[in-house]
Structure 1
Amino acid sequence: MSHVPGTPVALLHGVGLDAGMWEPVRDALKRNSVAIDLPGHGRRPALTAPTSLAELAADVLERLPEKSHLVGFSLGALIAQYIARFHPDRVETLTCVNSVCRRTEDESTAVLTRLAAAESDFPATVEASIDRWYTGTSVPQSVVETTRRTLAGNDVGSFVHAYRVFATGDAVIGPELGNIHVPTLAVTGELDPGSTPDMTLRLAEAIPGARSLVVPGARHMLPVQDADVLAGAINDFIQESEGERA
């Protein structure tokens, strides 16, 4: 990672993962970056009670740089949107990676079904996630195994509390998206079945002035599958936004 002066990039991972998922992206970014473990993940204490998008955002906010280019993946994207909406002074730019947005009734039903499955058979949920995220990709098996170990290592109760926020958080932040006024990029994978290209287009339409990018051939783990492409898109977006403010 090169140490370039200026506002750092802050990276928020997805449910069941940890800050380590960002290593390939951090290596390819042209600026300082910090990857933060979400509450209940990585080195943070397990979640022992139901929580909310607002509570997760408040916890993350305490550990963010004073100001950052905020990048969130999946659940991290919902948290990043919340912070950009209610604490815009802390956010230079917002990048939402593989984010859900304003789920339809069918999309909500699908994710609530996965939530129920996680509560009843967590090992099967781990395998279903790995299959949904990586099948058909050229991601090395060693990397897939690292993701599997991270997922399987979760405290099940904590995972369920976090996943419930992921399953319902878009309904919380959805009505507020029009009030986000920081430069925003929404990006997802062409083949992501859960955080679909349609959702990324919805997000870009909902946030004033936002732009969208769909990466051909990518599935949900875009930051792992196509780290160089994602890092390049983030670098270009930040540079452009800085140029517009100059």
Structure 2
Amino acid sequence: MSHVPETPVALLHGVGLDAGMWEPVRDALKRDSVALDLPGHGQQPALTAPTSLAELAEDVLARLPQQSHLVGFSLGALIAQYIARFHPDRVATLTCVNSVCRRTEEESRAVMARLASAEDDFPATVEASIDRWYTGTSVPKSVVEATRRTLAGNDIGSFVHAYRVFATGDAIIGPELGSISVPTLAVTGELDPGSTPDMTHRLTEAIPGAKSLVVPGARHMLPVQDADVLAGAINDFIQESEGERT
């Protein structure tokens, strides 16, 4: 009997970060995984011109396994939603981690203000992000410093191009969410001020059959702060969806 290769987990990070943020989750996953750098991040060339959610998704799609359990965090979640909507044959399951969804006018104004701040004073944006993501958590200082170094190391123009997609991409994919047909899990932190529990509930209401999980005490960097909890949720969700297919 021929062995059917296991469908891997593919992990997409958030704006200003890189594939390395997933290491704690990958260690706790029960299956093969691959973490990709988004365009303009990590080992990928800097973005030198405005881009779109569709362009980012097409770039990622070209580097993804033929089919995967797709997990996206923050900007990565918007890209994952786009791929699940328009290339469902490539996605076995979709997990959206700390994802924004259908921002209100007030939420849109807040993120556009952060975009303007990134253009005007990038070092201040780095510090504001670290504060928003980690303040009040027990994440070790060395891990927080590693995140700060990754953020500060960004090409500023490239970061701004990517952040603009993050700030506006939910308005692009929002109207399409009802057409996503793959099994979907939406996860966020109880204390995430930007990708709020409300947004996770909006996602599960928009995507047919989607499930939600809000992790108590977690902020935005859930994959770092509570890697075991997140990996456990992904493992359980994949196992459950595979059981429903057999």
Report if TM-score (shorter chain) is over 0.5.
Answer: yes
Letter in 2 for 1:139: V
- Paired with 2:212 and 2:44, the residues of 1 have a C-alpha distance of 32
Q: Does 1:8 align with 2:20?
A: no
- Please state whether the residue corresponding to 2:194 is helix, strand or coil: coil
Count of equivalent residues: 243
- Please state whether the residue corresponding to 1:186 is helix, strand or coil: strand
Equivalent position of 1:30 in the other structure: 30
Letter in 1 for 2:43: R
Q: Deviations over 1:59-96 (max 9, x none)?
A: 00000000000000000000000000000000000000
Q: Deviations over 1:203-240 (max 9, x none)?
A: 00100000000000000000000000000000000000
Q: Does 1:183 align with 2:183?
A: yes
Shift, 1:109, TM fit: 0.1
Root-mean-square deviation (CA, aligned residues, Å) is: 0.8
Shift, 1:5, TM fit: 5.0
Q: Deviations over 1:147-187 (max 9, x none)?
A: 00000000000000000000000000000000000000000
Equivalent position of 1:19 in the other structure: 19
Letter in 1 for 2:96: C
TM-score normalised per structure 2: 0.98
Equivalent position of 1:108 in the other structure: 108
- Please state whether the residue corresponding to 1:158 is helix, strand or coil: helix
* 1:197-212 superposed matches below 5 A: 197-212=197-212
Structure 2 residue runs without a partner (length 5+): none
Query: Contact (CA 8 Å) 1:5, 1:32: kept in 2 or not?
Result: no
Shift, 1:127, TM fit: 0.2
Letter in 2 for 1:54: A
Query: Contact (CA 8 Å) 1:101, 1:170: kept in 2 or not?
Result: yes
- Please state whether the residue corresponding to 2:234 is helix, strand or coil: helix
- Paired with 2:205 and 2:36, the residues of 1 have a C-alpha distance of 28
- Please state whether the residue corresponding to 2:188 is helix, strand or coil: strand
Q: Deviations over 1:106-163 (max 9, x none)?
A: 0000000000000000000000000000000000000000000000000000000000
* 1:1-246 superposed matches below 5 A: 5-246=5-246
- Paired with 2:142 and 2:48, the residues of 1 have a C-alpha distance of 31
Query: Contact (CA 8 Å) 1:11, 1:72: kept in 2 or not?
Result: yes
Letter in 2 for 1:96: C
Shift >6 Å, 4+ stretches: none
- Paired with 1:244 and 1:89, the residues of 2 have a C-alpha distance of 17
Identity, % of aligned positions: 89
